[in-house]
Amino acid sequence: MTLTAKSVARVSLVSTLVLAAAGAALLSASPASGAASTLGAAAQQSGRYFGTAVAANKLSDSTYTGILNREFDMVTAENEMKMDATEPNQGQFSYGNADRIVNQARNQGKRVRGHALAWHSQQPGWMQNMSGTALRNAMLNHVTQVASYYRGKIYAWDVVNEAFADGSSGGRRDSNLQRTGNDWIEAAFRAARAADPGAKLCYNDYNTDNWSHAKTQGVYRMVQDFKSRGVPIDCVGFQAHFNSGNPVPSNYHTTLQNFAALGVDVQITELDIEGSGSTQAQQYQGVTQACLAVARCTGITVWGIRDTDSWRASGTPLLFDGNGNKKAAYTSVLNVLNNGTGTTPPTTTTTTSNPGGGGCTATYSEGEKWNDRFNGLVTVSGTDNWIVTVTVSSPQRIIATWNTSASWESANVMTARPNGSGNTFGFTIMHGGNWNWPSVSCRVA
């Protein structure tokens, strides 16, 4: 069997930048695709939104409101729509602070994410002491009342928040609501659908970012079950509170993609990443790229405006500093949003002919980047029966693969074959300071 590679292209970072500059020059000639100067406008170019959490008591701060009005096109009430805020006494509803946020947003042409109808945390005192049927009915009444009050004004509701346990169980979190019966979540979703048929209904949680974590798998199985039984669910929210102990996983886009493949939208709902400078900026870039790489990732919300507004202020996890100045992380997010797809157009394409007729083409595209790693994607066309060789250059190492069955010819040369997941596969490269893209070549098996 003699198969000859016709061409193998290796593209360096320098030529990537040249390509990007050439692309930008072309784009600026076309008025329809000029770069946007705010997060919301930049996200809208790909049909997405960019939102923030808002606190009602900060709406009188003109620096805060100035950034809010300028940059964001989606708003979440940070605390004002939670159960303790909206039903402080049983059967007595209170919407003053939530309304201030909703009205301010709608007056400015922004949409609103509702957060959250049912949750084990931030329950009013009267509810914390309830159990059994009384609690189940009180919860359902709360969902119905609040969702009905805001009917027609909410883009998406976090119907249930944080119902899964951390750790290795993959099961539900113990709570008073969980003890009313395992069907409490679907009951809440059905009540929300009846109350506001126009709102997208989301399940929202944290520590569900890493595809290999048990909690992620547990939520995935629930959504799969809901879809198969017709329980009304439209979206899954990923809170995305990251720090050095809980960094952005390199398989993030896989997680988003796999949930989306269940037939739900995915949204990044409470993003913050502790850190500073270029390290923080790169992580923000990776998260934004992961969303843009998934068609059904409809938007990103950051959990506050300035670092000083954050619930984790000491970790300086947001896009604006305490004075309201744009941070490096802001610029990296804006640049990715302006890039539209989050992936650079295909560049390293190698075709290898097959003596038996036919052939195949392997196309490399950039995935997310972190300070120490980057992801690459390869899409094969021309055959379902391919063998792709991926060659990295020293000191790079491929540390993970997905959607392929991989073997190794040497430390630098990986052979990838189909594993039934389709014709796109990916991998993570520890770059060791070498940002060059790998070379790829394809042959028919």
Residues that bind ligand XIL (CB under 6 A): 78-79, 161, 239, 270, 311
Q: What end-to-end distance do the CA atoms of the chain give, in Å?
A: 10
Q: How far apart are CA 35 and CA 406, in angstroms?
A: 39
Rg of the Cα atoms in the chain: 24
Shortest distance, CB of residue 319 to ligand XIL, whole angstroms?
16
Closest residue to ligand XIL, based on beta-carbon distance:
311
CB of 76 within 8 A of CB of 97? Answer: no
Quick one: 166 or 372, whose CB is closer to ligand XIL?
166
Q: How far apart are CA 317 and CA 291, in angstroms?
A: 19
Strand 386-391's sheet: what is its strand order?
A: 405-410, 413-417, 386-391, 439-444
What does DSSP assign to residue 7? -
Does 270 participate in catalysis according to the annotation?
Answer: yes
Quick one: 46 or 267, whose CB is closer to ligand XIL?
267
Shortest distance, CB of residue 204 to ligand XIL, whole angstroms?
6
Give the type of residue at 168: S
Quick one: 104 or 161, whose CB is closer to ligand XIL?
161
Q: How far apart are CA 114 and CA 116, in angstroms?
A: 6
Shortest distance, CB of residue 51 to ligand XIL, whole angstroms?
14
Q: Which helix (H) or strand (E) holds 40?
A: helix 39-44
Shortest distance, CB of residue 205 to ligand XIL, whole angstroms?
8
> CA angle, 48 as apex, 16 and 42 as ends, to 5°?
55
Quick one: 311 or 435, whose CB is closer to ligand XIL?
311
Shortest distance, CB of residue 270 to ligand XIL, whole angstroms?
6
Query: Which of the following is catalytic: 78, 162, 186, 270?
Result: 270
Residues β-bridged to residue 363: 349, 379
Q: How far apart are CA 187 and CA 438, in angstroms?
A: 50
Quick one: 53 or 378, whose CB is closer to ligand XIL?
53
Residues marked as catalytic? 270
